[in-house]
Amino acid sequence: MNINELKKIKYKMQYAKECNYIMINLVPPSGQADNLQGELLREIEKIRYEAQTNGNYNWDECFTFFCENIKTKLCEQKIFTDEEKNLIYEITDLFKECGMYATNMLFNENLLEDYPIDPEKIAYVYDNLYDYIADKIGKMSNEIGEIISYEKNPNIYR
């Protein structure tokens, strides 16, 4: 499956129970998690919320970091196939492209008033791609079976 095929379907999560467990037990009420599973799930949910609720209006370097961190940390795991890793790359790159497009369109004072803005490029608002990434975090947690420590990034304030 590729990203265009995934965009057309309602993705059914296979590891929703694992994700619920992570969210309840491993993601702190505020700030970064001290474990990889919790932090990655926290990050993808931050990206989802920013796109769906704010249209990426507040996109900044923290969200860009989240995309890169999710991509890097998930793709380091040996449990994922090359196809899964490629899709993780494509999805996180799309989220980052949308956020950067939104920032450029919303805060570029040099754009003409009638410059065409493509709403589809500002924010990806459908759940399927976010659910796919969350599902991979749940799969990682299930397959590895133990909490993986995570060193918090002092530069992240979201």
Predicted pLDDT of residue 112: 63
Residue at 45 is within a domain: yes
Asked whether residue 129 is assigned to any structural domain, the reply reads yes
Closest by CA position to 36, among listed 143, 132, 117: 143
- 70 within domain boundaries: yes
State the residue range of the domain holding 113.
Answer: 13-144
Tokens of 6: 């995934």
> Model's pTM, two decimal places?
0.94
1 within some domain: no
pLDDT at 110: 74
Per-residue confidence (pLDDT) for residue 117, from 0 to 100: 80
Number of domains observed in the structure of the chain:
1
Residue 8 within a domain: no
Q: Which amino acid is at 33?
A: A
Q: Does 118 map to a domain? A: yes
pLDDT tens sequence for the chain (158 residues): 999 999 999 999 999 999 999 999 999 999 999 999 999 999 999 999 999 999 999 999 999 999 999 999 999 999 999 999 999 999 999 999 999 999 988 777 776 666 778 888 999 999 999 999 999 999 999 999 999 999 999 999 99
Residue 94 lies in a domain: yes
Number of residues that this document lists for the chain: 158
Residue 97 maps to a domain: yes
